[in-house]
Amino acid sequence: MKKYRVGIIGSGFIGSVHVEAVRRLGLGEIVALTEKQDAKGKAEALYIPDYFDDYKKMIDTKELDMVHICTPNNTHHEMSTYALKKGVNVICEKPMCRTIEEGEDMVKVAKETGLVNAINFHNRFYPMTYEMKEKIKMGQVGDIWSVHGVYLQDWLFHDTDYNWRIDPAFSGSTRAVADIGSHWIDLAETVTGLKVVEVFADFATFHKTRKKSLDNIAFSKEKSDIYEEIKIESEDHAHILLRFENGAVGNAVISQVVAGRKNRITLNVDGSEEALFWTTDDLNNLWIGHRDSSNEILTKDPSLVSNATIKQIAYPGGHAEGFPDAFKNNFRAIYKSIEDKSSPIEYATFADGLREMKICDKIFESYHTNKWVKVDE
């Protein structure tokens, strides 16, 4: 069996998760890493045999089958279009890029090359979010009436918390919405099979200025006392009302400043037959609500879920599967597309990434115009 030659660009938080997932799947060999900071040290730490400080050199010399783009959002457009034009399949991190124009170009280049183009909306691939989708597809939930939930984090709670995501030049026009709201909306649309058609949003920026550490100890327990005061333009927190194509109503609260919520996603889907609830805080269980009988908890167990979901479960019941496993499931589906172009695509493509970019743009417009804004197809 062919082992794909894989290159990784960026090995901060998420690049290392990609490395681990590719290795667990066993279908690719990671032949090189590109890193801007200490490429040699990072490659050694991850046991990657070759390293570069320029992604173009890696793509030009390493005969890659797949490149994983795990760098800040401002780099995604140039890196992915370069790779595709050189004949390399691409898995790019979310959000897809910074602007609709960049996104449209990425979709155009992907279409022209016919290569695999994927965005890492991995939340689609938790066994129990996949099972939610299957139950809805089979009609068990009935007509969908409402879809609601949250994506909450606290890593930007203090005014001394700073990261590249705060700067629109790196992140794009929205921050919390692009960074984690895009995940929630992709999940809600994928699970329900319904498109969002209209949005209304309210934003809040609690820290009007932030203290950017000048001695590079962001994310550390240690506190710096050398700061630059930065005026903040992007939102810490967003409330979004949603309307779906079937008339269902929805809402999402998206925040990076809720104390104690480290990475909490909730998704409720309320239907005419039953209601479903899933959360990352208990991600191996799916709550199923009934009006006329006891509620149920469906536990991740290959012997209990629908047939389609079994492929997303690696271990027997009672053995937890979480964040890294969702990446593994997503990458398995994506790599399969290299060989089998006709296999149904369940992962997010660049077209899906562009759709999320457009929805985030409309959310931004709604906040600034104080109006409901329609989302075009």
Ligand X SMILES: NC(=O)c1ccc[n+]([C@@H]2O[C@H](COP(=O)([O-])OP(=O)(O)OC[C@H]3O[C@@H](n4cnc5c(N)ncnc54)[C@H](O)[C@@H]3O)[C@@H](O)[C@H]2O)c1
Residues that bind ligand X (CB under 6 A): 9-15, 34-37, 55, 70-73, 75, 93-94, 120, 122, 179
Q: Which residue number, 13 or 47, has a Cβ lying nearer to ligand X?
A: 13
Q: Which residue number, 217 or 304, has a Cβ lying nearer to ligand X?
A: 217
CB atoms within 10 A of CB 110: 24
User: Measured from the CB of residue 53, what is the shortest distance to ligand X in angstroms?
Assistant: 7
The three-state secondary structure class of 21 is: helix
Let me know: does 18 contact 327? Beta carbons within 8 Å: yes
User: Measured from the CB of residue 143, what is the shortest distance to ligand X in angstroms?
Assistant: 31
User: Measured from the CB of residue 377, what is the shortest distance to ligand X in angstroms?
Assistant: 25
User: Measured from the CB of residue 124, what is the shortest distance to ligand X in angstroms?
Assistant: 11
User: Measured from the CB of residue 28, what is the shortest distance to ligand X in angstroms?
Assistant: 18
Q: Which residue number, 122 or 362, has a Cβ lying nearer to ligand X?
A: 122
Per-residue tokens: 131: 């099972």
The gap between the terminal CA atoms of the chain, to the nearest Å, is: 40
Q: Which residue number, 78 or 198, has a Cβ lying nearer to ligand X?
A: 78
User: Measured from the CB of residue 184, what is the shortest distance to ligand X in angstroms?
Assistant: 12
User: Measured from the CB of residue 55, what is the shortest distance to ligand X in angstroms?
Assistant: 5
Q: Which residue number, 194 or 265, has a Cβ lying nearer to ligand X?
A: 265
Q: Which residue number, 7 or 28, has a Cβ lying nearer to ligand X?
A: 7
Beta-bridge mates of residue 276? 269, 288
Residue owning tokens 């209209």: 198
For residues 338 and 357, give the distance between their C-alpha atoms in angstroms, rounded to a whole number. 25
Instruction: State the Cα torsion 290-292-293-296 to the nearest 10°.
Output: 0
Residue 13 host element (H or E): helix 13-25
Q: Which residue number, 216 or 295, has a Cβ lying nearer to ligand X?
A: 216
Residue owning tokens 């082992």: 3
**For residue 7, what are the CA distances in angstroms to 4, 267, 340?**
10, 34, 21
Residue number with the shortest CB distance to ligand X?
Answer: 12
Q: Which residue number, 14 or 25, has a Cβ lying nearer to ligand X?
A: 14
Beta-bridge mates of residue 231? 209
Strands, DSSP E only, in the chain? 4-9, 28-34, 51-52, 66-69, 89-92, 117-119, 144-152, 196-204, 209-213, 227-231, 237-244, 249-255, 264-271, 275-279, 285-289, 296-299, 348-349, 373-374
User: Measured from the CB of residue 270, what is the shortest distance to ligand X in angstroms?
Assistant: 26
Residue type, 188: A
